Homo-oligomer: A and B are copies of this chain.
Amino acid sequence: MPQTLSAPVLSINDLSSFLKRDFPQIGIGTDFIIEEVGPMTARLRLTYHSKHLRPGGTMSGPSMFALADVAIWVAIMAQIGEIPEVVTTNLNINFLRMPAPKDLLAQVRILKLGKRLAIGEAVITSEGSDAPVAHAIATYSVPPQR
């Protein structure tokens, strides 16, 4: 379905090093683990921590938002290289089920990778279950003359 099947230009190791060095705040390797990158796809894990809980003991909306946003952004970086100026302009998230207090996984697919805009979706599931707990779709602005 992706418009190109080009292999990613950055590996999991490349991405992890880049992000740890330039964006230590994101918490790659601790909060977030890059588990897989492929042509126009990626899978990231948010590791469980009690700080991610909302009232009621389920994983919070902001945690799912952050996972979706980081995961789609990483998938774009994998495809186009280290271009940290790529920024989120829109994110639409639907919360489908209350996620258990466990790791969350985001399976990303890039739907469009244009010269000025990239659009990707993330389906979030809870460790050990296939039922999606959230679905996000987001637009990123890509700087010119890359």
Contact = CB atoms under 8 A, between A and B. Distances in A.
Interface string A52-68: 01110000011101100
B111 A96 contact: yes
A90 B94 contact: yes
Contacts of A23: 55
Copies in the complex: 4
Given A93-B91, A96-B119, A55 B69 contact: no
Contacts of A119: 89-90, 94, 96, 135
Interface of A: 1-3, 22-23, 25-26, 53-55, 61-63, 65-66, 69, 84, 87-98, 111-112, 116-117, 119, 121, 123, 130-132, 135, 137, 139, 141, 144
